[in-house]
Amino acid sequence: MATHKQRWISTSTIAIAVAAFVALNVVAGLVLLGNRIDLTENRLYTLSGGTLDLLDTLKEPVRLRFFYSEAALNGYPELQSHAGRIKGLLKEYAARSHGKLAVEVIDPKPFSEEEDLAVSLGVQGIPLTEAGEKLYFGLAGTNSTDRASAIAFFDPDRKAWLEYDLTRLIYDLSILKKPVVGLMTWLPMYGAGSVETGLQPRWVITDLIGESFEMEDLTTGEKKIPDHIGVLMLVHPAAVSDDTLYAIDQFVMRGGRLLVLTDPFSSVPGYRFHESNLTKLYKAWGVEMPADKVVADRTMAIRVMNQIGESSLGTIANITWLGLGPESVNADDVTTAQTELIRLIAPGYFRLTGENPDMKLIPLISGSDDAMLIESFRLMFNDDPLEYLQDYKPAGERYPLAVRLEGKVKSAFPDRKDKGHLAESKEPLHAVLVADADMLRDGFWVVRQNMFGQGQDLLTPTAHNGIFILNALDSLSGGGKLIGLRSRAAPERPFEAVERLRQEAEARFRAQEVALTDKLKKLEEKLQQAGQGDIAKEGILLTPAQEEEIEQFRKQMVETRQELRAVQRSLREEIERLGARLRLVNIVAMPLLLIALAFFVPMRLGRRKK
């Protein structure tokens, strides 16, 4: 039996341990203020190098307001979880910004000044009730010149890109003006034609680029790319002079970024059969696009009308018209993530030549392993899809149709002696190359309709070609700060017990649904056998037995709906009870366990000494 002195020692030891624990927390709070350890599996709260670089170089203060309708989100657990991650990341942004970034979390109550502020800054409210109550779940930012930018609503489907979206917004506010995109095109993107031949409107993609960036039109004979151009976009460069190639070359050597759309076979009216390439520059960079081959893909083929004369024979797969879905795009790159459909016409493909070991080629859009190559000249004489299908032989290779290039490069003109000539790039090349220029054409990815003859066009996208181009320009214009940001796995962490409860409830409901459907089928069969199915539909009086059977069926429908609501209510209650138990374990049980250990260990040691 322990003596009074031993008990006093044990009690003193516990008291000292508790005091030391409190003191350690106080000291840690003072000394380690601002330091955090990210223990999440995918390091969700650890900022990327590009984000940290941006925060370190912020020169002007930026103010972020996270509008978050806390009460309204109680019924949306997925949004609540997403909100927690947003607040955590914003806190980390502010902590690493050296005081340049101020973050506020605002709960905009209905019909309040905060709600008016949210709307004025571009945050979108989602209607919840007919009385006008709305859910706000967006972010607004302003800079020292009161320029504003906003994420109208945080889409949970984009949670893997949360850091990119936040960094993109801060970057937009940290620059004084929109990035400048220089457009050099060999296609009639600005409109063409005459009154006699018919006027062709500006291409939709041209207007979209002009809305998102400061766009500057460059001639196809430029001898120097202006220094203020941030991203140079080349569309279908054909028969380019050496002087213009040299201007593009030196633009890259100075650190300029490129979006290039070359094409082994053009289908644009008036430019049909014309090919484009940057062979001389591509060779110096260590990449090539074979000019004599186009990629055909039976799996990704778009079906078109198979018509001979005026007779339609149904549809047939046009293996050179490709509709590329999520399985064909690089989900880890901001340019192509979440694009559901990209359409290309007779595209080429890219491959490394091995002449530049520093060059890295990252596929953005690829065909399937059911693809094959067709000589491009064959399309000039025969575009009958059936002929190509009959002798189809897949190569078993996924050809890269659009790529991102990264790496140090040397000039393709080593012998030029122009003033200021650069023999190699100051920084790694950043370029997006697409082996098809037809993808920009109106009608192939977007339908233009005139609105009631008022001169206003209604644009209906049928593919994500425009989004892909804007994403490419967006990532390139952000420089290394945004290009380096890649998707990280979204924090999907379902509770197994909760999921099991949900599955059990769904199983019960589906069993009832199957039984109900079976009963309905049997009832219809009985009515049909009685010869009254059509009569019932026409509203003619049924027999008392049939009316009673139908009434019983309706009662069972009502009872099933009531039972379903009861199951759903029980499910919510069980989830809430489970959450309460988890909170109890986290808040109470663990500290009690530590206290028990604090008592047990000294007593155990005392007994051993005795």
Encode pLDDT of 224-282 as tens digits. Answer: 999 999 999 999 999 999 999 999 999 999 999 999 999 999 989 888 888 999 999 99
Q: Quote the pLDDT of residue 261.
A: 98
The contacts of residue 186 (CB under 8 Å, 6+ apart) are 220, 235, 236, 237, 238, 271, 276
Looking at residue 180, its amino acid is V
Q: Above 80 in pLDDT, residue 489? A: no
More confident residue, 376 or 31: 376
More confident residue, 135 or 387: 135
Q: How far is CA 476 from CA 116, 205, 230, 481, 485, in A?
A: 35, 17, 8, 10, 11
Q: Quote the pLDDT of residue 146.
A: 85
574: enclosing H helix or E strand: helix 544-584
More confident residue, 270 or 547: 270
d(CA 201, CA 454): 16
Look up the CATH architecture of domain 181-483: 3-Layer(aba) Sandwich (3.40)
Query: What is the homologous superfamily of the domain 49-174 according to CATH?
Result: Glutaredoxin (3.40.30.10)
Percent of the chain with pLDDT over 90: 46
Q: Quote the pLDDT of residue 239.
A: 92
Helices (H), 277-357: 279-285
**Tokens linked to 258:** 């490129």
Q: Above 50 in pLDDT, residue 169? A: yes
Helix, strand, coil abundance in the chain, percent, nearest 5: 40, 20, 40
Domain map (residue ranges) of the chain: 49-174, 181-483
419 burial class (0-12, 13-18, 19+ CB within 10 angstroms)?
A: exposed
275 burial class (0-12, 13-18, 19+ CB within 10 angstroms)?
A: buried
More confident residue, 91 or 387: 91
**Tokens linked to 74:** 């109680």
Q: Quote the pLDDT of residue 389.
A: 80
d(CA 486, CA 341): 21
State phi, psi for 519 to the nearest 5 degrees: -65, -40
206: enclosing H helix or E strand: helix 204-212
Q: Quote the pLDDT of residue 604.
A: 66
Q: Quote the pLDDT of residue 454.
A: 45
DSSP string, 350-400: -EE-SS-TT-EEEEEEE--TTEEEEEHHHHHH---HHHHHHT----S---E
Q: Above 50 in pLDDT, residue 322? A: yes
> How many CB atoms lie under 10 A from the CB of residue 92?
20
Q: Quote the pLDDT of residue 219.
A: 96
Q: What is the mean pLDDT of residues 431-452?
A: 87
The contacts of residue 524 (CB under 8 Å, 6+ apart) are 533
pLDDT band (50, 70, 90) for residue 172 = confident
Q: Above 80 in pLDDT, residue 164? A: yes
Average pLDDT, the chain: 80
Q: What is the mean pLDDT of residues 314-340?
A: 87
Q: What is the mean pLDDT of residues 451-473?
A: 77
Of the listed ranges 218-227, 307-316, 325-334, the least confidently predicted one is 307-316
Chain-centre distance for alpha carbon 99: 30
Q: Quote the pLDDT of residue 86.
A: 94
pLDDT band (50, 70, 90) for residue 391 = confident
**First CA to last CA distance, the chain:** 10
Q: Quote the pLDDT of residue 143.
A: 92
d(CA 317, CA 295): 14
**Which residue(s) pair with 461 in the sheet?**
446
447 burial class (0-12, 13-18, 19+ CB within 10 angstroms)?
A: middle
Are the beta carbons of 102 and 66 closer than 8 angstroms?
no
More confident residue, 425 or 519: 425
Chain-centre distance for alpha carbon 564: 36
Q: Quote the pLDDT of residue 552.
A: 74
Q: How far is CA 149 from CA 166, 177, 210, 384, in A?
A: 11, 12, 17, 50
Burial 322-350 (b: 16+ CB within 10 A, else e): bbbeeebbbeebbbbbbbebbbbbbbbbb
More confident residue, 195 or 243: 243
Choose the most confident range, by mean pLDDT, from 211-220, 303-312, 432-441, 512-521: 432-441
Q: What is the mean pLDDT of residues 560-576?
A: 62
d(CA 334, CA 477): 13
d(CA 182, CA 228): 9
260 burial class (0-12, 13-18, 19+ CB within 10 angstroms)?
A: buried
pLDDT band (50, 70, 90) for residue 378 = confident
Q: Quote the pLDDT of residue 19.
A: 62
SS3 184: strand
d(CA 281, CA 415): 14
The contacts of residue 487 (CB under 8 Å, 6+ apart) are 160, 161, 164, 331, 332, 333, 334, 337
Are the beta carbons of 457 and 23 closer than 8 angstroms?
no
Q: How far is CA 387 from CA 317, 319, 539, in A?
A: 11, 10, 56
DSSP string, 36-60: ----STT-TTSPPHHHHHHHHT--S
